[in-house]
Chain A
Amino acid sequence: MIKTSRSLSIGDMLGTGVAMLRRYPRLWLSLYLVEFVVAAIVAWVVARILVDQFGTLPIFDRAVQGDLIALLNVLGEGRSSFAAVLLLVMGALGGYVVLSWYLIGGANAVLIQRPEARREVVECFGTGGAATFYSYFRLALWTVIPHGICFAALSVGLSLGADSLKYAITGGDVVRAVIFPLIPVAALYWLNATAIDYARIELSRRAGPAGRPDRASEAEFDDSTAAERPAIRSAKPLSAIGALVRGYRTVVTNPRPLVHVLLYGLFFASVSVVYVALTHGRPMSGATGAIAIFAIRQVVLFTRYTGKIVCAGGQVAFSQGRS
């Protein structure tokens, strides 16, 4: 059942998100695999670098096992290797951001159009991702402004807090020095990230496949069914800045999108805390340990990832339902 924005509660958003997660398991698994493969390639190169540099040096074994002196020595002696690893990770992140314009575009198209057959899903994902890639790119350029503001706020917050942090004695001092100045930054980031999510959805809705009357585009021209069907205004082109403005309008005119994203943030943080609680102080050595830690990490990563898909599903539903 499709509801309008008047009745689309957080619960409905979550429900739709979960439904979307269950409806396209192969798609989400494939996308998770992409993420996994990118990280695995990074890990493989990292392993090569480390074996080349430290394979014959037992001090590295001790460093990995948590010997502080060995760790500091390895970090000092292997500075260039660790710089290379850092650059590699940064490069992978940058590349994945670009790839994500395509992946998110495809995912949004599927969530908007809700194709049925497996082939349609693939086609919808592919064409959707390609159709919005450049508009997502333009949007990314515009988001330099809000991200820049956020970064400036972060710099100010950190510089305000840095002095107090130097003299922090208690946990309360640290909270005052760091957490308080960063609350507005986090709030700003939360606002920006949510608005950008909705801006992307707007762009995807406008870029629905031309000449193909999906259920959503029918709704655009049929006021009488607007209350029951998701709307998409694929006929009118929308600029990236226009989408961004709409995104911000969405998040400032209704608290639900922000709360919804906050729930995802809390979910992400909770899963991470559970991971730390499960693994902290447990060395998990040997082959069994390695398999166990790998499995735990993948469960954690996949669980967080499903949270993201549920969130995206809810956001698309909200965006469609509200008009």
Chain B
Amino acid sequence: MGSMRRVLDCFLVFAAGTALGAACSSSPGTPAVKPLPEPDPYPALITRGPLSPRIANYDIRVRFDPVAHRIVAEQTLRWTNPATRPVSKLPFHLYMNAFKNEESVFMRESRGRHRDARASETGWGWIDVTAVQVHHNDVTISPDDVTISPGPNDPGEPGPMRAVPGSKAELLDRVVFPGPDETVLEVPLDQPVQPGQTIEVFMAFEVQLPEVFARTGYKNAFHMVGQWFPKIGVVVGEPGSERWHCEPFHLHSEFFADFGVYDVAIQVPNTHTVAATGVLTGAVDNGDGTRTLTYHAEDVHDFAWMADPHIDVIEGEAKNQYGTVRVRVYHRPAQRHFAERHLHAGIGAIEQFSALYVPYPWSLISIIDPPPRAARGAGGMEYPTFVTTAGDSFFTPPGVRLPEYITVHEVGHNWFQGMLASNEVDEAWLDEGVNEYADSIVMDALYGDGSGMVDWAGFRASSHLMRRAASGFLELIPAPIETISYEFPDYSSYAMATYLKTGLALRTLENIVGVEDFRRAMAFYAQRFAFRHPTGRDFFSSLEQALGRQLDWFVEPAFRQIGAVHYEVRDINCRRKHKKPRGVFGRGDDKVIVTPEDGPETDTWTCQVLIVNVGRVPAPVDVRIEFDDGTIHREHLSVSFDKTWHRISVERKSPVARVVIDPDQAIVLDSHLHRRDVRTDPALGPARRAAARAQFWTQTLLQVVGL
């Protein structure tokens, strides 16, 4: 019995060890009071502004309760009508209502899942607009005596929110929710806003943050606050036929907004570190355990912020044509070694994107590295001068550059969407995919050609090739790249078309037209449309203009239809040439039979190689044919629309040994590589080596399961 007890004791120790292990996950401890931060000693821009038409300008004053995950705020929007027609209503996004219940468009489409994260049953989020007042060119529309509460530029007046005099309910009663849910609110105007006229709209609102699963919300003590304030839509369309663009918040869509200046004062507990869009212009201790931090940003189209009591920050500098950009990475202490990797990637991205396209004009960028349990929901999101990254994991050691890639991608969005503010709802590819194309260039520039994504344990890979190899087949995406984001049938189709296929299509186009020319054309597009709202049409017409050639032959099938390139060596056929053709020639009595003796074999081989492109996207391609005697024949196959195959005939003193389609791997919009390189004689060595390895592992397993 004694020894039985000993064995049982052993098990109890093991079980206790397990429980302890589970409980031992690092707890960040009680938050301490943080020193009051010094305001940033530099302006919002490192170049002369304004850089954009400042159409939508916000002053926001926020009181933040991290325990209830609640925000109480007031905002004043100064909006200028950019249209050629009067505007009689103002639509506002209330994105946070996407997380209000299961009936919102977002929740119906997502079923509570976004990427790999899931919504919790208790962490609903919402936004309540509690007051709406409109000032119209110094004339208060209704009620007459409304006063706009002071903007938050004066950090000396944090205090409680002031009740706004006037019958706010009267205006509030007139707002409507025109869409299928409460993510769009419309304010009807008694008096239209004339073209070029500026209007001021005051709103008071309360936000309950959701438990984060789709970009915004809290996870334990970490708070990522995005899509949180009532945000006016964008007037789009040709002059004379403008309309509002203010879609309900869909699952597969991001954001679209006008540029402006933001002044935001955030009152937070003094235990919390805050990072936000723009620069810190003021910090005041309120003496009640809270402080008010005031941020100022120029020529941006969004404002996001983060508050966390356990977060540290490291800082570095990036240099570009305008000067110095401060790069900060906010991270939990346990993620310090990842923070350094993010910082290196962030600095590199700022410098590379600046050199490739237009210089980064803001003086600061904040990169938030969320704690691991928040990263799936909050990580990997872009806001102007403020991004969240992700990828920190035991399984991404140095050399497995997923964390760096995410940082580069999100920082890259400061160009492709931050400055080139395309419509992410209607044309998600124009920021995500164009950005992904650029990311691969930047990653290879930062970490070495061909090893931008992986350089670990002898494995090397660029990001675009790695992503292609790790994804499904491109021709199985059921919708073209140019699809409105919320009309994709599922997340996989959306992601593969918008990100991967776009990136590969552009990379292919670049290789076809010439790398240098294409990069110059991309820079031309970026410089032409920075701080505007370019469309896909603008994008391609800029490229065509800069390249001086039409691109429709490729753009139409690659971007507007389903499918991809799919090249294969279909057949290799060689035989000796006969001195005379053999067989029966002539008719009737004139028949002549040419026998093998009459037409003996010569020392020349006549070979035919059949190359097919069974994908739907045409692409010119090089083919290299290697012969047994070591000679090489290279041929360029141009695009032909009437047939999807090419037969190459060639005569040599020896037969074909190997055919390689696209030896320079230029046509990357092709998932199928295995029959692009074919030899005529099978090689036994590699298969035997693999089999020898299989033998070792099989025998090892035999030793485990049997004698």
The interface bits of chain B over 682-695 (1 if a CB of A lies within 8 angstroms of the residue's CB, else 0) are: 11111111111011
Chain A interface SS verdict (over half): helix
CB within 8 Å for A93 and B702 given contacts A176-B25, A308-B707:
yes
Check if A104 is an interface residue, CB within 8 A of chain B: yes
- B706 in contact with A35 (CB, 8 Å): yes
Considering only residues 141-198 of chain A, those with a C-beta below 8 Å from chain B are 157, 160, 164, 166-171, 173-177, 179-181, 183-184, 187, 191
Answer whether residue B338 sits at the interface, using C-beta atoms and an 8 A cutoff.
yes
The listed residue (B7, B21, B395, B674) touching A73 by CB distance below 8 A is: B674
Known A56-B682, A58-B677, A169-B392; judge A50-B687 contact (CB<8 A): yes
Asked if A117 is at the interface (CB within 8 A of a chain B CB), the reply is no
Closest chain B residue, CB of each to CB of A174: B394
- Asked if A68 and B460 sit within 8 Å, CB to CB, the answer is yes
B698 x A76 contact (CB < 8 A):
no
Contacting residues of chain B (659-707) with chain A, CB-CB under 8 angstroms:
672-692, 694-703, 705-707
A111 within 8 A of B: no
Evaluate whether A93 and B674 lie within 8 angstroms (CB atoms) in the complex, with A66-B458, A253-B3, A281-B458 already known.
no
Point out the residue from B14, B394, B687, B695 that lies within 8 Å of A169, measured CB to CB: B394
* Chain B 189-201 near chain A by CB (<8 Å), digits 1 or 0: 0000000000000
In the complex the two chains form, is B18's CB within 8 Å of A255's CB?
Answer: no
> In the complex, how many angstroms separate the beta carbon of A136 from the nearest chain B beta carbon?
11
Point out the residues of chain B lying under 8 angstroms from A93, CB to CB.
Answer: 698, 701-702, 705-706
Give complex CA distance A70, B674 in Å: 8
A66 in contact with B459 (CB, 8 Å):
yes
| Of B271-279, B356-364, B463-471, the one touching chain A | B463-471
What is the chain A residue whose CB lies nearest that of B395? A168
With both chains docked as a complex, state the minimum distance between the C-beta of A13 and any C-beta of chain B, in angstroms. Answer: 17
- In this complex, what residue of B is CB-closest to A296? B696
B677, A252: Cβ atoms under 8 Å?
no
Q: Which of A41-49, A211-219, A222-230, A234-242 contacts B (4 or more CB under 8 A)?
A: A41-49
Compute how far the CA of A301 lies from the CA of B18 in the bound complex, rounded to whole angstroms. Answer: 33
> Nearest residue in B to A108 (C-beta to C-beta)?
B707
Query: Chain A residues with Cβ under 8 A from B32's Cβ?
Result: none
**A181, B701: Cβ atoms under 8 Å?**
no
Residues on B with C-beta less than 8 A from A137 are none
| Chain A proximity of B554: nearest CB distance (Å) | 24
**Would A35 and B701 be within 8 Å (CB), given that A69-B466, A281-B458 are in contact?**
no
State whether A57 touches B675 (Cβ < 8 A): yes
Alpha-carbon gap, A237 to B460, bound state (A): 63
A164–B458 Cα gap in the complex (Å)? 28
The residue in A69, A100, A176 that gathers the most chain B C-beta atoms within 10 A of its C-beta is A69
In whole angstroms, what is the CA distance A297 to B470 when docked?
32
Q: Please indicate the chain A residues that have their CB under 8 angstroms from the CB of B470 in the complex.
A: 72
Interfacial residues of chain B within 8-23, with CB under 8 A of chain A in the complex? 10-11, 14-15, 17-18, 20-22
Q: Mark B209-235, 1 if CB is under 8 A from A, else 0.
A: 000000000000000000000000000
Binary interface encoding of chain A residues 41-82 relative to chain B, with 1 for a CB under 8 A from any of its CBs, else 0 = 011101100110011111111011110111011101110000
Interface pair B694/A43, CB less than 8 Å apart:
yes
Q: Report chain A residues within 8 Å CB of B684.
A: 47, 51, 55
Task: Establish whether residues B394 and A44, one from each chain, have CB atoms under 8 Å apart when the complex forms.
Answer: no
Closest to A63 in B: B686
Tell which of A43, A164, A301 touches B700, judged by Cβ atoms closer than 8 Å.
A301
State whether the Cβ of A134 lies closer than 8 Å to any Cβ in chain B.
no
- Point out the residues of chain A lying under 8 angstroms from B169, CB to CB: none
Contacts A169-B334, A255-B3; A39 near B705 (Cβ below 8 A): no
Specify which of A47, A64, A160, A187 is in contact with B10 (CB 8 Å cutoff): A187
Inter-subunit contact A290/B25 (CB<8 Å): no
- Contact call B22/A164, Cβ cutoff below 8 A: yes
Residues of B within 8 A of A258 (CB): 7
The answer to whether the Cβ of B636 comes within 8 Å of any Cβ in the partner chain is: no
Q: How large is the interface on A (under 10, 10 to 19, 20 to 34, 35 or more residues)?
A: 35 or more
Q: How far apart are the CA atoms of A181 and B395 in the complex, in Å?
A: 19
Q: Establish whether residues A96 and B690, one from each chain, have CB atoms under 8 Å apart when the complex forms.
A: no
Tell yes or no: A130 within 8 A of B by CB: no
Q: Are B7 and A252 in contact (CB under 8 A)?
A: yes
- Contact present for B677 and A180 (CB under 8 Å): no
On whether the beta carbons of A253 and B4 are closer than 8 Å, the reply is yes
Question: A84–B22 Cα gap in the complex (Å)?
Answer: 39
Quick check: B24 and A176 within 8 Å, CB to CB?
yes
Partner of A42 from B18, B674, B686, B695 at Cβ < 8 Å: B695
How far is A181 from B372 in the complex, measured between Cα atoms in Å?
A: 21
A92 to B10, CA, bound (A): 36
A60 touches B706 (CB 8 A): no
Chain B neighbourhood of A221, CB < 8 A: none
- With an 8 A cutoff between CB atoms, is B149 at the interface? no
CB A224 to nearest CB in B, in angstroms, measures 28
Interface centre among B7, B675, B677, B694 (most CB of A within 10 A): B694
**Contact present for A72 and B469 (CB under 8 Å):** yes
Q: Which residues of B contact A191 (CB under 8 A)?
A: 7
B contact residues around A233 at 8 Å (CB): none
* CA A219 to CA B459, docked complex, whole Å: 63
Q: Is the CB of A51 within 8 A of B687?
A: yes
Inter-chain CA distance A296–B4, complex, in Å, is 42
CB distance from A189 to the nearest CB of B (A): 11
A245 contacts partner chain B, Cβ-Cβ < 8 Å:
no
B17 adjacent to A297 (CB under 8 Å): no
Interface residues of A in 107-150 (CB under 8 A from B): 107
Q: List 23 A-B contacts (CB under 8 A).
A: A44-B691, A54-B674, A54-B686, A56-B680, A57-B675, A57-B677, A58-B677, A58-B679, A64-B686, A66-B458, A69-B466, A73-B469, A93-B701, A93-B702, A96-B706, A97-B706, A100-B707, A103-B707, A104-B707, A179-B21, A180-B22, A181-B18, A304-B700
Please name 20 further chain A to chain B contacts, defined as beta carbons within 8 Å, in addition to the given A66-B459, A99-B706, A255-B7, sorted by A numbering: A31-B707, A35-B706, A39-B702, A43-B698, A56-B682, A60-B686, A68-B466, A72-B469, A77-B674, A96-B702, A103-B706, A167-B372, A173-B25, A173-B394, A174-B394, A181-B21, A187-B10, A251-B7, A252-B7, A258-B7
Interchain residue pairs A-B with the least CB separation, the first 5: A55-B682, A180-B21, A100-B706, A43-B695, A47-B691
